[in-house]
Structure 1
């Protein structure tokens, strides 16, 4: 008699009928062992499957996290902001919000000094500082919670961060937060024994007033930030007026502020002489900008824009400092020459101008009468009362004043008589063709006669030929400047030029 014993997972095998009864327990034991082995292998495969599935899920979760968070700071990124914004505006499209943009300035210097790994660490710490400062500001909306603490900062990438502000019942809430962050956050960080300094700049765009899409709001917040950084002290909130300024112009003005501190600016000077004796009486300074990318820029490239955008005053302060320092240098070398500096209408509106000049005169031990301030007639038109008050203060201080481009403005004779000026400058447009144009000669003659009747000195600019000089002398004008005497040259060489100047060598052609 024979039979087959079936063991799960194994092929059936014949056993001899004559198998003794003593061998049956061994067979049963073997069968049980094989059954347990099968169950164990099945469970092991099931566990491996579950582990692989968990790892895949975890990997997917990580991928999901990193797709919505910045890989340097770990804070929500622009995609997260867009996602949250879409949901928020669906729920409450009628509510008012503000997008507050924060930028860390001059961070490229940190990269150069400390390397990317350290700078990334600093970037993450600054982001954390901003977020910690917003912990008690419920109007700054929360993106997510970490360890039961709100995350209210979005890292847009690079050195740019965004905060979404509920401004429904507090219109200026974003401005308040921006001012607070700009003052409170930039504390130096110590990295490897080095103190790392940085600053924050901000720009604000309002929803729905300035846009209803994230990209539109970001663009306008960026424009407001650029405008605010170029015109320090102005509001960081976007306005439609900012659309008139291109990014190139805003960048140029921001670079101009940087140029003042980085010694990219230079002063050139052109002498003013007594046309009878050819003695040097003064020199008028002109600014040049050695831009690292655009090359040498003349005043026409940036001065008008600087005045329009309110960047002119710090520029004027720099010029005045250099001019007064040169007067002191000439004094030490026993050389006598006044220096003339052009100032703008915006400069006249700064009450601290007189105080700043007093400090310069005291610092360099220079007499105020050695400085001439030149201003155009147009500088007196915008705010005549305030301009007149400032001119009176400057006159009392002792500086000399000259009315530049005289004859091209619209000032009345009665108004000019009230001005505390010592000189008028005849515009070069009348002078260059003086000996060839009867009309120019008539206009110049009338200006000279009027100035003499008002007891004012006359300075003719743009003299390029001896014939023009001689005609001006016959008209009664004795002070001039132009290529006939010297082209503008670097102010640093003025002392040497004066020592070498020989009045009798001027050739009359």
Structure 2
């Protein structure tokens, strides 16, 4: 039955009505036809309802898939992970599990290079590469199967991924897996002729040791990842000590890395003077940070934290570049003065330090003897053998070495004799009270005698009064640094200051 047939029946109705003889059979036929039409319309409505339900079911299935999967990579999302882990912990709450968090770093550069659409393709390929690596990792939770292959990676969104591991039988399985992924996954990926480079960083939180809720474990894993990323050689496993690294501190270190490239940092300088003739022989540089919201920050606000969290080496590299550039500027102006730079124990452990210095000396055509590196005694204690080896390499390069805060550390004299140190700096805490306290005078005299017996030059910090200067000279200390000569000022003005100082000295002679 169709609408065309119904139309013909209705069209013949007036003609049939003109024949009284055919009235009864015609009525029967019409009644049958109308019944058939009614049945057809009912069936049509039923079919339409089935089609609508089928579409709704299909749409509901699609909505269900997208609510449980990331729309970029197609991998299970955090909601899926929440469902799976809740069920797992209900079945086996006594088991030990590890949440392994993975984060792709340097992906902002990929976005800038390739654009949003292409970077999404790269992100999906990286996710697939990680999941392929997990094909034989049976300790990892399988979320689902696709084409008979297990899906064991969860995409939290953005560039963050999670793997859930059963570690009851293998305590360090998550750490081994994290190391393998960080090492093997970040191979350059070709996209439109560009080699896309990236890195993976990991953090691990263990159930139930570090938390029993998914969000708690994720927070701890994020802390471990940040700590592993900032502090060179640190474990990627969460530890309660990491709670001391507040978001404020982590943000400050992230801003410091940015400050290095955006030239928010500046160097101040304080001259070192030969106290016998008042000739400037060197100048020590101090770093300052012109923070866009916090104002001018002193080294105490960020240097120790930078050293602790592994940001100190790029910071030192920036300072060394500025210092060597100033030495070159002084040479061009026919001015002579060494520049002293403080380095940390972490700097001494970088094998690249020698290569970077050689490149700086070559670039600026500066002699290594014009640079002085100052280090504290504590820098020698962490890894003494490696520190000693690096100091000898620096000495062979021609760099002059000084030991800062001499007398406040714990280095033995026997150990100091093994080091190519040229100068020691007497801490200002001894110098300030030199002419007021017999005890301070005795301690300072003993330190100076000790240094001279080791054939070391002595630099006195914190010289503020003429009486102190004169007493130090009588005690055998010939180099001083302090407010008596100059307060710290910006390094950019050092050449002008030095010319004026020399001119003033010449007038007095």
Asked whether 1:423 is paired with 2:417, we answer no
2:10 aligns with none
Q: Work out whether 1:127 is the aligned partner of 2:127.
A: yes
2:489 aligns with 489
Asked whether the equivalents of residues 68 and 76 of structure 1 are also in contact (C-alpha less than 8 Å), the reply is: yes
SS in 2 for 1:99: strand
Q: Residues 382 and 188 from structure 1, CA distance in 2 versus in 1: closer, same or farther, beyond 3 angstroms? A: closer
Provide the alpha-carbon RMSD of the alignment.
3.5
The TM-score with structure 1 as length reference comes to 0.82
Q: Which residue of the partner structure matches residue 10 of structure 1?
A: none
* Structure 1 residues 5-39: Cα deviation after superposition (integer angstroms, max 9, x where no partner): xxxxxxxxxxxxxx954332211211111111110
Deviation at 1:100, TM superposition (A): 1.6
Q: Is the 8 A contact 2:154 2:161 kept in 1?
A: yes
Corresponding residue of 1:504: 504
In structure 2, the partner of 1:71 is: 71
**Offset of 1:146 from its aligned partner?**
3.1
State the Cα deviation string for residues 107-164 of structure 1 (Å, max 9, x = none). Answer: 4455566665555454444333433443454443321223444322212122211122
1:156 counterpart residue number: 156
Kindly state the Cα deviation for residue 96 of structure 1 after the two structures are TM-superposed: 3.9
Contact 2:231-2:308 at 8 Å conserved across structures: no
Q: Which residue does the alignment assign to 1:28?
A: 28
Q: Which structure's residues are more often helix, by fraction?
A: 2
Whether 2:340 is the aligned partner of 1:377: answer no
Correspondence list, 1:38-53, <5 A: 38-53=38-53
User: What secondary structure, in the 3-state scheme, does the structure 2 residue paired with 1:502 have?
Assistant: helix
Question: Cα 1:103–1:345, aligned 2, differ >3 Å: closer, same or farther?
Answer: closer
Check conservation: 1:230, 1:254, Cα contact below 8 A: no
Which residue does the alignment assign to 1:206? Answer: 206
Task: Write the deviation string for residues 178-206 of structure 1: whole angstroms up to 9, x where unpaired.
Answer: 33433444455666776654332211223
Q: Look up the SS of the partner of 2:90 in the other structure.
A: helix
CA–CA distance in structure 2, aligned partners of residues 48 and 61 of structure 1: 20
**8 Å contact from structure 2 (residues 273, 480) kept in 1:** yes
Aligned length: 490
Asked if residue 330 in structure 1 is aligned to residue 368 in structure 2, the reply is: no
Task: Quickly say closer, same or farther: Cα 1:414–1:107, change in 2 above 3 A.
Answer: closer
Deviation (angstroms), 1:80: 0.5
1:442-494 C-alpha deviation (Å, 9 max, x unpaired):
44344334444444322122233444434434444332122332332333443
Counterpart CA distance in 1 for 2:65 and 2:190 is 31
Matches of 2:349 and 2:22, distance apart in 1: 120
Aligned to 1:464: 464
Which residue of structure 2 lines up, in the alignment, with residue 165 of structure 1? 165
Whether the aligned pair in 1 keeps the contact of 2:220 and 2:238 (CA below 8 Å) is yes
Tell me, in whole angstroms, the C-alpha distance in 2 between the residues paired with 1:151 and 1:257: 37
Q: Decide whether aligned partners of structure 1 residues 38 and 127 sit closer, same or farther in structure 2, where only a CA change above 3 A counts.
A: same
Report the alpha carbon displacement of residue 228 of structure 1 after superposing the two structures with TM: 1.0
Alignment of 1:90-169 (within 5 A): 90-110=90-110, 116-117=116-117, 119-169=119-169
How many angstroms does 1:222 deviate by? 0.9
Aligned match of 1:341: 341
1:281-310 deviations in whole A, cap 9, x for unaligned? Answer: 111122233445544332111222233344
C-alpha distance in 2 between matches for 1:503 and 1:457 = 27
TM score, norm. by length of structure 2: 0.82
3-state DSSP of counterpart to 1:501: helix
Describe the superposition over 1:40-96 as per-residue Cα deviations: whole angstroms up to 9, x where unpaired.
111112122222322333333233223222233332111100111122233444444
Is the deviation greater in 263-272 or in 120-129? Answer: 120-129
Q: Is residue 51 of structure 2 the alignment partner of residue 80 of structure 1?
A: no
1:463 and 1:130, CA in 2 relative to 1: closer, same or farther beyond 3 A? Answer: same
| TM-superposition CA deviations, 1:166-188 (whole Å, max 9, x none) | 44444444334333433444455
- Whether the aligned pair in 2 keeps the contact of 1:371 and 1:399 (CA below 8 Å) is yes
Q: Cα deviations across residues 382-419 of structure 1 (Å, max 9, x unaligned)? A: 45555455545544444322222223334566665565
Gapped runs of 5+ residues in structure 2?
1-18
Contact 1:282 1:339 in 2 (8 A): yes
Mapping 1:73-472, distance limit 5 Å: 73-110=73-110, 116-117=116-117, 119-187=119-187, 197-260=197-260, 263-350=263-350, 353-354=353-354, 357=357, 360-361=360-361, 364-384=364-384, 387-388=387-388, 390-411=390-411, 419-472=419-472
Q: Equivalent residue of 1:162, what SS? A: strand
For the 8 Å contact 1:463–1:484, the answer to whether it is kept is yes
Q: Provide Cα deviations, 1:200-220, integer angstroms capped at 9, x if missing partner.
A: 221122334433332222122
Moved more, 93-102 or 383-392: 383-392
**How far does residue 360 in structure 1 lie from its aligned partner after superposition?**
4.8
What is the DSSP-based 3-state SS (H/G/I as helix, E as strand, rest coil) of the residue aligned with 1:204? strand
SS in 2 for 1:140: coil
Further displaced range: 31-40 or 160-169: 160-169
Structure 1 residues 177 and 451: alpha-carbon distance in aligned structure 2, compared to 1, 3 A threshold: closer
Tell me, which stretches of 5 or more residues in structure 1 are unaligned? 1-18
